Structure 1
Amino acid sequence: MEEALANLNLLNEEEEAFQEDVRTVDHVYSLCLVGCCLTDSVVHFPSLRNTLADLWHPIKGICISDLGGKRFLFQFFHEVDIQRVLLGTPWFFNIHLLLLHRIQPGENPLLVPLNLANCWVQIHDLPPGLMTVSMAEQFGNFLGQFLDYDMSFSSKGFHTFMHIKARLEVSKPLKRKKKILILTDRVIYARFQHEKLSLFCFICGKLGHGESFCPFRTSIEPSKIGFGRDITLWAATRRQSVSASKWLQDADGSD
């Protein structure tokens, strides 16, 4: 009986919670980014730390830490510095795309998903009358999430394509075109060109690996694997409903 009472008292002590101001905990990450490189290869942390610190060169300095699991914590000391880095995306390290996320209150930097990247995309083969803000938003949301429409080309009298910024989910193949119906009888296709692509697979259309390491390659006969004439043709998605051979044929320009 005495032993049971002793255990009961111990449990009561364990249930007495410490109190801490949540705002103080969240403040630790108020000027922090968590990031990783889009690659399955090992990333040399000292080299990454020195390269990015020199590249970004924040006015108030930066502290870069290795969190393990190929994740890195970037702690800034002024809002101006962290905003400049975010506005300058996408960033790369050794040709690998750097995925960055600003830590929000209550988020754990070890658990927050890192699968989004901001990318500038050119939209070609559009009639001038369709180069509107409304169309830019539709294209951006089709690609992922619309962020910005660069209209500087229009102001300079150079307006052969739209230039938008979108947030893309890197786990999905890149999209290459979108069908547009004008009025009721005219059909055109807008063609996408993604700028500043990092390591890119010409077979599956995904970022983060090359053709030699593409899992999809093992399901195709080697004789049917082809390579496009330029990166523009291959900056495109393979739709899940389309067979591998059909996508390879389309990407080679036969459509």
Structure 2
Amino acid sequence: MKNLIWDLPRAFNLVGKVRGVALSRDRFQFFFKYEEDIEKILKVEVYTQDDWSVVLERLIEELPNDYLMILPVWIWLYEIPVNFYTEVTIMEIAEEIGQVVEMAFDPEKPQSSGFVRVRVLFDVSQPLRNYKTVQLPDGKVVKIPIEYERVRKRCFQCQRLTHEKSRCPWNSLNKHKLEIEKTIDALPLQKKQSTPLLPDDPLFGVLTDEQVGLDARTGRSKISKDVLDVMRQYLQVQDPNERKAREQRVRQSIEDLDGDLLKQKTLLRLEPAPVITTDVNHGKGLVFQFTENNGVSNKGEKLMDVAIRAGSNPGDARITWSGTSQETAESSLVDCSTSFRIGTSGASSYGTSSTKKKFRRRPQSSKRREETMLKDTEGLSKEVEASREGNSAGKRNSDEVGVISAKCVKRDQSKVDQEDPPTIL
């Protein structure tokens, strides 16, 4: 993780604008020159370093107990029962993983991905859940598989994101190592405990410990501390009759919110209401789309024709950030020196200018093959004719040479010695 100090500025193109300091082996602090650079980095959902997730938060004066323990992450919920494919059911299932911030869901459009994306604030001290068991009203129990976007490495012993299996405190083979190292991984192992209402508390006897304690499913408080303080201040009256009336109002207000997940989230826990967007690809980053400016319907056209036309006219290509409208994306891609457009560009006196690529006018391979075979056939016929002419001329020359040689080597029988024949060995 020590490479994070050098890799983070390069990853966000902030070299020279940010300075990193290693506070410990697992904690780092960065100093920025500009506010917009901080906002740019904090927009990243899950930043990874060496395949490990990194929690990024702004430094504040008073650090809360869960500082650097909350990781915003998009989760995928699979196999939701068809009769319960609603916003309330999806939000209730996602609340088991973490505080729901945003949900990409559009019930009026077809869902081809097979899952629903929900953005939650995940507590890294808790283990990752690969599925969630849900009991339906008819008593049937189903499992909802869960996946996490951009989350890579984890501990395969306890499914947490804070350490490897070789340093897991739940592994009996690593206990002696943790006692020696005193790593920071042991800090998140301390579970939150709810404090019961004391007798001198104004809420003692008005609300039960179960109503003000921690939720066993999520690990978060059922009622915010600020809401409890307002209730205590509301009960500080001297008149006994008025106090009884106010106690009844406090009980009734809690009972009215029983079963309403959204109101419990916003009124009791003071959490912001989840944002529901109809863009199912919201938060994924760059989305590439090829559209036409003329808006003419291409019904009845073949897919290959559309692909060829899109390739021959690179100006129709558009790049949009998910979550932005098409009009905004098209207006941002104007012809200027800093705009992006598919194709090549050349330098000019005022910046960059788009240049058309020159394509080779080359015939098809079958036609080139026929031309090659035709040329080979013509060349072969010429060679045959040449060889024939050469053979005929050769015959004539050989006859002439034979006649001359025959005249030259004609033997004179009068000079042959008949008494001295050759010797055969």
Partner AA of 1:89 in structure 2:
E
Q: How does 1:195-210 map to 2 (within 5 A)?
A: 195-210=149-164
Match of residue 193 from structure 1: 147
Q: Indicate the SS of the match to 2:74.
A: strand
- Distance change in 2, residues 1:56/1:129 (3 Å): farther
- Distance change in 2, residues 1:176/1:91 (3 Å): same
Match of residue 65 from structure 1: 21
| Alpha carbons 1:60, 1:77 under 8 Å: kept | no
Of 89, 100, 105, which residue of structure 2 is paired with 1:151? 105
Q: How does 1:101-250 map to 2 (within 5 A)?
A: 101-104=57-60, 106-107=61-62, 113-151=67-105, 155=109, 157-218=111-172
CA distance in 2, matches of 1:94, 1:119: 18
Partner AA of 2:88 in structure 1:
S
Verify: 1:99 aligned to 2:47, yes or no.
no
How many percent identity over aligned positions?
21
CA distance in 1, matches of 2:161, 2:80: 26
CA distance in 1, matches of 2:81, 2:17: 47
Instruction: Extract unaligned runs of 5+ from structure 2.
Output: 175-425
- Distance change in 2, residues 1:69/1:122 (3 Å): same
Q: Indicate the SS of the match to 1:114.
A: coil
Partner AA of 1:73 in structure 2:
Q
- Distance change in 2, residues 1:135/1:79 (3 Å): farther
- Distance change in 2, residues 1:107/1:63 (3 Å): farther
- Tell me how far 1:55 sits from its aligned partner: 0.7
CA distance in 1, matches of 2:66, 2:96: 24
Q: Indicate the SS of the match to 1:101.
A: coil
- Tell me how far 1:170 sits from its aligned partner: 1.3
| Alpha carbons 1:59, 1:81 under 8 Å: kept | no
Partner AA of 1:198 in structure 2:
R
Which structure carries more relative contact order (alpha carbon 8 Å, separation 6+)?
Answer: 1
Partner AA of 2:37 in structure 1:
D
Of 7, 12, 21, which residue of structure 2 is paired with 1:51? 7
CA distance in 1, matches of 2:23, 2:155: 28
Match of residue 74 from structure 1: 30
Instruction: Extract unaligned runs of 5+ from structure 1.
Output: 1-42, 221-255
Q: Indicate the SS of the match to 1:102.
A: coil
- Tell me how far 1:126 sits from its aligned partner: 0.7
Q: Which has the larger strand fraction?
A: 1
Larger Rg: 1 or 2? Answer: 2
Verify: 1:86 aligned to 2:42, yes or no.
yes
In the alignment of these two chains, the number of paired residues is: 174
Q: Deviations over 1:206-233 (max 9, x none)?
A: 223333333323279xxxxxxxxxxxxx
- Tell me how far 1:58 sits from its aligned partner: 4.6
